[in-house]
Amino acid sequence: MADRSESKGARPGRGLFIAGTDTGVGKTVAAASIALGLESLGRGPVCVMKPIETGCRMRGGRLIASDAEFHRKMLDSSEPGELLCPVRLRPPVAPVTAAKMEKRRIGQEDWRPSFDALVGRHAFVIVEGAGGVMVPVREDYLISDMISELEIPCVVVARTSLGTINHTLLTVEHLLTKGIPVLGLVFNRTGTATKPGIAERTGPGLVSRIARIPVLGIIPGMPSITRNALRRTGKRISENLISVLEAPR
């Protein structure tokens, strides 16, 4: 595979993009874990923003973005919801389709000002993507274009179950081809409480060796997603992340 490229404007210590191999793989759980982990290591303040969220619901006359609200609650953030999630769309589909349905054209002018404002007052701004990296925001603009424009490095979140090798390698290859630095991989045992089978035990190491990208951590199946459980896992992941960020180049 292509070499890990860290040449394109990475600003370690500021922004970090949490990219997923798919929707539902655990980006929200991983982003919150890393944010809480960084804070518990004294690397805060940290906030998590979600530039675009689809499937938002009206409550009290406002569109509620549930991922962004989850992060705000977990981090006790006082940042306004509109800043943490500037583009809220109702249809529970890909951003391109949801925006078309709402007759909106969305682009970086919608989230860049929020990102810049948050970067100005946090040690880390973690940015959670929507779905996987080739999800279209417009027909000519993918989530990976958003990452390129933000000029921040990535962590890729993947599931541990069978099929993850292909999805994770494709995701990494796409990001590297676009010159986006991939700092590490986080594998998430999405909701599984059972003993890991052979695919789960061997997959992460195999992907890491082929892609030549470190595994920052494996998130266990959590019976309930609490702040303490997230922080515990996030601390280990964040220690590894900081080692990568601070390694001599």
Ligand X SMILES: Nc1ncnc2c1ncn2[C@@H]1O[C@H](COP(=O)(O)OP(=O)(O)OP(=O)(O)O)[C@@H](O)[C@H]1O
Among 26, 51, 86, 234, binds ligand X (CB under 6 A): 26
The token pair that represents 198 in the structure block = 């052979």
Which listed option, ligand X, Mg ion, none, makes contact with residue 188 (CB within 5 to 8 Å by class)? ligand X
Among 12, 14, 17, 20, binds ligand X (CB under 6 A): 20
Which listed option, ligand X, Mg ion, none, makes contact with residue 20 (CB within 5 to 8 Å by class)? ligand X
Other Cβ atoms closer than 10 A to 198: 8
Helix/strand/coil for 94: coil
85 binds ligand X (CB under 6 A): no
28 binds Mg ion (CB under 5 A): yes
The token pair that represents 238 in the structure block = 């964040």
| Beta strand spans in the chain (E) | 15-20, 46-49, 52-53, 57-59, 62-64, 87-88, 124-132, 136-138, 141-142, 154-159, 182-188, 215-219
145 binds ligand X (CB under 6 A): no
39 binds Mg ion (CB under 5 A): no
Among 160, 188, 208, 238, binds ligand X (CB under 6 A): 188
- The one-character DSSP state at 195 is P
CB of 48 closer than 8 Å to CB of 31: yes
Which listed option, ligand X, Mg ion, none, makes contact with residue 51 (CB within 5 to 8 Å by class)? none
Write out the residues near ligand X by the rule CB under 6 A.
Answer: 20, 23-29, 67, 131, 188-191, 219, 221-222, 225
